């Protein structure tokens, strides 16, 4: 779904019925989801845990209640949320309508807690709550940049996962920015764009183009700003709840002057005194947190001084007692000497007891450090895996690399550091830091450390990058795991840095060969002018990978293809080209036995088959929009 500000929503029952018809799926029991069990019911939604048989993973499945108005809001939430790509907005994996006439969507498995319940926990600190508030501001700011507002934000549609990740749901409507022009009314503009007569086609098109350019310029000059007052007010109400636990009650008088000022500006009805955008509010909260951190550090210093004094006072008491007993030795009798020995023994026992407490404290501290280290390493695994890595390969790989280089024991993470540096094409750091790896990989790194680099840090010549992939592909089968985890992530990283979505056919050949090592790259041809592609060879069976180190999309997505010929290939399922939009697809002389049942899975115009390749029952799964041609 598009993420531009022209995202469409459903406004009435007729549009709702049409959307359901276009997204109709199988029955719930016959779907790709099994083991469906109800987790909870929130507002107008039922939330289930389910198993995705297609990708062999546990996911969360969400359905609306039976009310038709609830379904309208539910589907609008799908349309709007699917247009977003932000870490603090829920990501929808799949959606559709069961044959039981119930819409649904799925997302990653989560055991999140509503912000309302989170802040009621006594262990929730001011700093933690404000950090979640800042992430909420970031999500709203992103939505506003897409000309979308939330309008119903509260503490029930902000969710916090056990790992601390914050996500927002409940997007049900779009505030579209209306544009007024001084010259041509909207209805005349529409007529100008698409009603050129056949007799004067060239003249009308030229005139329409000129009028469109003038209208576009006027639109830029007269665009109406997005109304974010409701969202700003919602943020103010949430901030108020953080300090009063009740939006109707005023916060206690003891709260910071800075917070009071922020609440006043967020909740005011005067537009001139309110925040003009979310980032202004977010900036004031960030400044407040910085000042709080500074005050906490100063308080911690004085607390340490006081504790040190108390510890020395206890030691002085023991020393004075010992000194008194020594003086008494010369004054008192042997009986008093005996008493002194008893006191001394008690002192020794106390010291031993203190030592045991100290050892226990050190053990607890070591356990906490171990848990923190484990948490950091788990974070790096997520950063380098789907979906976080493929959202921003540059940012994710840099964060993961910084964590590994900050570890105390650098020897334990050579394998992970080598992989990330190879993906980022930072061969010089591999050599300089003496990162350890198998000798064959070290030779590749040393060789490419001498190659010329561009200012962005990548290999300057694309042929050198293609050579790198060829050499990696030639590594022995024992290094197959490295190949599969490296090549697609390396391509996506280079594309992000260069701001590209496609690559050369030679690079696609190497990507396919990683998962089909016995296949010859000569069996793949591509015509960029006609956007035709031919893939053959019985050895090629895999065109996508669903492991955490892959995007789960077809490798052919890196090329612009209109016509795809799979004849004489070893492809056995059309799931291997899932997500491709094609004009023509030729699957004659292949081992493909059936078609995907999901209506959006087969995005083609014309399908070429052998006359007896499929029976009528199998062909029923082909969408009605696909033109089927049977030819020998």
Q: Quick one: pLDDT at residue 136?
A: 93
Place of tokens 């390493």: 377
Over residues 541-592, the pLDDT tens digits come to 999 998 999 999 999 999 999 999 999 999 999 989 988 999 999 999 999 9
Q: How far apart are CA 464 and CA 450, in angstroms?
A: 11
- Name which of 456, 387, 444, 451 is nearest 419 in CA terms: 444
Q: How far apart are CA 503 and CA 497, in angstroms?
A: 13
pTM above 0.85, yes or no: no
pLDDT reading at 2 higher than 60:
no
HSE at residue 219, side-chain half, CA atoms within 13 A, is 13
Q: Quick one: pLDDT at residue 184?
A: 37
DSSP string, 113-182: EEHHHHHTSTT--HHHHHHHHHHHHHHHHHHHHTT---SS--TTSEEE-TT--EEE----------B--S
Mean pLDDT of the chain, nearest integer: 83
Average pLDDT over residues 115-120: 84
473 backbone dihedrals φ, ψ, rounded to 5° = -65, -25
Over residues 251-307, the pLDDT tens digits come to 666 577 888 888 888 888 888 888 889 898 889 888 888 887 766 655 555 555 554
Average pLDDT over residues 439-445: 96
H or E segment to which residue 603 belongs: strand 603-609
How far is Cα of residue 457 from the mean position of the Cα atoms in its chain? 25
293 backbone dihedrals φ, ψ, rounded to 5° = -65, -40
Pairing of strands 158-160, 113-114: antiparallel
Q: Quick one: pLDDT at residue 195?
A: 38
Average pLDDT over residues 8-30: 84
Identify the band that residue 185 occupies on the pLDDT scale cut at 50, 70 and 90.
Answer: very low
Report helix angle 439-448 to 414-423, nearest 10: 40
pLDDT reading at 311 higher than 70:
no
Q: Quick one: pLDDT at residue 318?
A: 67
Q: How far apart are CA 494 and CA 560, in angstroms?
A: 18
pLDDT reading at 382 higher than 50:
yes
Starting at the edge strand found earlier in the chain, the sheet holding 524-527 runs 524-527, 532-535, 563-565, 581-586, 603-609, 627-630
Q: Quick one: pLDDT at residue 56?
A: 93
Contacts of 29 (CB under 8 A, 6+ apart): none
221 backbone dihedrals φ, ψ, rounded to 5° = -80, -20
pLDDT reading at 122 higher than 80:
no
Cis peptide leading into 387, omega within 30 of 0? Answer: yes
pLDDT reading at 212 higher than 60:
no
- When mean pLDDT is compared across 133-137, 179-183, 609-613, the lowest value belongs to 179-183
Q: Quick one: pLDDT at residue 558?
A: 95
Q: Partners of 82 in the beta sheet?
A: none
Q: Pick the residue with more confidence: 52 or 193? A: 52
Q: How far apart are CA 569 and CA 515, in angstroms?
A: 14
Altogether, the residues listed in the chain come to a count of 632
Share of residues in the chain with pLDDT > 70 (%): 83
Q: Quick one: pLDDT at residue 4?
A: 39
């Amino acid at each position: 779904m598009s993420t531009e500000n022209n995202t469409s929503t459903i406004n009435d029952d007729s549009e709702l019925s049409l959307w359901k018809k276009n997204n109709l799926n199988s029955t719930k029991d016959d779907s790709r989801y099994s083991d469906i069990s109800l987790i909870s019911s929130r507002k107008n939604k039922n939330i289930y845990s389910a198993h995705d048989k297609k990708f062999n993973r546990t996911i969360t499945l969400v359905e609306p209640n039976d009310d038709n108005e609830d379904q309208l809001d539910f589907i609008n939430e799908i349309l709007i949320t699917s247009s977003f790509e932000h870490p603090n907005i829920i990501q929808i994996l799949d959606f559709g309508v069961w044959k039981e006439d119930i819409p649904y969507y799925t997302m990653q498995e989560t055991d999140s807690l509503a912000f309302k319940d989170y802040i009621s926990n006594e262990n929730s600190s001011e700093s933690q709550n404000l950090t979640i508030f800042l992430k909420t501001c970031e999500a709203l700011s992103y939505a506003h940049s897409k000309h979308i507002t939330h309008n119903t934000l509260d503490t029930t549609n902000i969710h916090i996962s056990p790992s601390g990740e914050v996500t927002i749901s409940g997007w049900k409507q779009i505030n579209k920015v209306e544009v007024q022009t001084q010259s041509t009314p909207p209805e005349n503009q529409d007529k100008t764009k698409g009603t050129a007569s056949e007799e004067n086609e060239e003249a009308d098109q030229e005139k329409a183009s000129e009028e469109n350019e003038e209208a576009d310029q006027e639109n830029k000059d007269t665009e109406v700003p997005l109304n974010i007052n409701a969202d700003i007010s919602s943020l103010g109400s949430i901030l108020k709840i953080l300090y009063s636990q009740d939006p109707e009650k005023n916060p206690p008088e003891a709260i910071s002057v800075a917070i009071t000022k922020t609440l006043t500006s967020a909740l005011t009805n005067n537009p001139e005194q309110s925040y003009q955008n979310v980032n202004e509010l977010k900036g004031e909260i960030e400044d407040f947190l910085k000042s709080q951190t500074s005050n906490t550090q100063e308080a911690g210093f004085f607390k340490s001084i006081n504790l040190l004094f108390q510890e020395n006072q206890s030691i002085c008491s023991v020393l004075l007692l010992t000194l008194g007993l020594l003086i008494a030795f010369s004054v008192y009798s042997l009986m008093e000497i005996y008493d002194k020995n008893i006191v001394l023994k008690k002192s020794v026992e106390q010291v031993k007891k203190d030592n045991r407490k100290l050892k226990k404290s050190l053990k607890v501290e070591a356990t906490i450090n171990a848990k923190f280290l484990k948490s950091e390493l788990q974070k790096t695994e997520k950063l380098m895996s789907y979906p976080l890595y493929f959202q921003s390969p540059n940012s994710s790989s840099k964060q993961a690399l910084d964590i590994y280089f900050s570890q105390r024991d650098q020897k334990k993470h050579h394998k992970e550091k080598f992989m990330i540096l190879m993906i980022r094409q930072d061969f010089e750091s591999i050599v300089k830091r003496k990162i350890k790896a198998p000798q064959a990989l070290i030779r590749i790194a040393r060789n490419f450390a001498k190659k010329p680099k561009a200012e962005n840090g990548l290999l300057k010549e694309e042929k050198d990058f293609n050579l790198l992939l060829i050499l990696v592909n030639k590594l022995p089968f024992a290094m197959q795991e490295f190949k599969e985890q490296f090549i697609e992530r390396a391509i996506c990283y280079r594309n992000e840095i260069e701001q590209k979505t496609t690559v050369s056919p030679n690079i696609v050949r190497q990507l396919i060969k990683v998962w089909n090592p016995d296949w010859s790259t000569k069996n793949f041809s591509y015509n960029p002018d006609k956007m035709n592609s031919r893939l053959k060879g019985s050895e090629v069976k895999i065109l996508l990978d669903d492991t955490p180190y892959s995007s789960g999309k077809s490798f052919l997505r890196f090329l612009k293809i209109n016509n795809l010929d799979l004849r004489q290939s070893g492809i056995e399922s059309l799931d291997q080209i899932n997500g491709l939009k094609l004009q023509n697809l030729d699957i004659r002389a292949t081992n493909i036995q059936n078609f995907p049942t999901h209506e959006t899975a087969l995005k083609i115009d014309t399908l070429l088959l052998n006359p007896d390749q499929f029976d009528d029952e199998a062909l029923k799964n082909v969408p009605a929009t696909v033109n089927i041609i049977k030819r020998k």
